[in-house]
Structure 1
Amino acid sequence: MALLIVRLGLAAVFYAHSAQQLLGWFGGNGPQATVKGWSERYGLPVWLCWVGIFTEFIGSFSMVLGLFTQVFAFGLTVFMAVAIWKAHWNNGFFLARKAGEGNGIEFCLMLILMALAILIGGPGPVSLDWLMGWA
């Protein structure tokens, strides 16, 4: 049951953020602005920005269903590692900083650790991967 809780926590966070990026929901800018911003700000190729958005979006559903869970746990880990490297590392550890200074790595680090728990521990028995005999 613990792995299900971790999966659902990852799903909630990644769904909310990817819906901002892909759908423009929850006050997000939508896909064009997100891809343009990431590409210009962080020097990432446009195709890689799209891979990141879809990894987050599809990965959130993967975590809920427990389907292809470890594949997407790996993808989410890589996505957040790139986020730390490109966007958060120079802002220090702590998430809460002064307005306009950017966020540190702690939130991204927690998401990485949660995804690694799924990658290493598997999806758990409450998952489609388990039912299919893949876990």
Structure 2
Amino acid sequence: MCGRCGIDKKTLERFAPFAFLPLRLAIGAIFFAHGAQKLFGWFGGSGLTQTIANFREYLGIPAFWTVIAVLTEFLGGILVALGAATRPAALGLAMVMLVAIFKVHLLNGFFMNWFGIPGQGHGIEYNLALLAGCVTLILGGAGCLSLDHRFCEHSHSERN
């Protein structure tokens, strides 16, 4: 028994291998949805043509890098959710978040614009949380309920 939380230590250890699944699913869903907004105009988004125009006009980001960022969000979100190529996908997503933080949100401080004050953008807190999730996946991998684990285990057993 864990003295502080009252939960059996063996129970905690039994579920530890599954700890990355909720993080992967949440991070994957968020990036997939935001990428789909920018790429296809789904979920109320503007689509790729308008995203390219907006990134160029407001952020000074060339079309090539905008497309790379949008594809990274969309495809990276899918890969992370599936647990396939999780570390490289999370690295790409982390880089997108770093650009978002330094190019857009840092000037607005830490907090999001919770009250929708016109002319005031969102701070870095949301992007920082996503960045932390991506870094966790880079360092920890996908966990055992993932395609990475399945293929890695299969490939490892073939070598022995």
Q: TM-score range by the shorter chain?
A: over 0.9
Q: TM-score, normalization: structure 1?
A: 0.95
Whichever of the two has the greater Rg, that structure is 2
Q: Which amino acid aligns with 2:111?
A: F
Q: 1:50 aligns with which of 57, 64, 67?
A: 67
Q: TM-score, normalization: structure 2?
A: 0.81
Question: In the aligned structure 2, how far is the partner of 1:55 from the partner of 1:15?
Answer: 9
Percent identity of equivalent pairs: 40
Q: Which amino acid aligns with 1:109?
A: L
Which aligned segments of 4 or more residues in structure 1 are displaced greater than 4 angstroms? none
- Higher normalized contact order (CA 8 Å, seq sep 6+, divided by chain length): 1
Question: In the aligned structure 1, how far is the partner of 2:31 from the partner of 2:149?
Answer: 22
Compute the displacement of 1:96 (Å). 2.4
For structure 2, the residue ranges without an aligned partner over 5 or more in a row are 1-17
| Structural RMSD (CA) | 1.4
Q: How many aligned positions are there? A: 135
Q: Which amino acid aligns with 1:51?
A: I
Compute the displacement of 1:46 (Å). 1.1
Compute the displacement of 1:122 (Å). 0.6
- Corresponding residue number in structure 1 for 2:136: 117
For structure 1, the residue ranges without an aligned partner over 5 or more in a row are none
Cα shift readout 1:82-105 (whole Å, capped 9, x = no counterpart): 001111010000012523311000
| DSSP 3-state at the match of 1:26 | helix
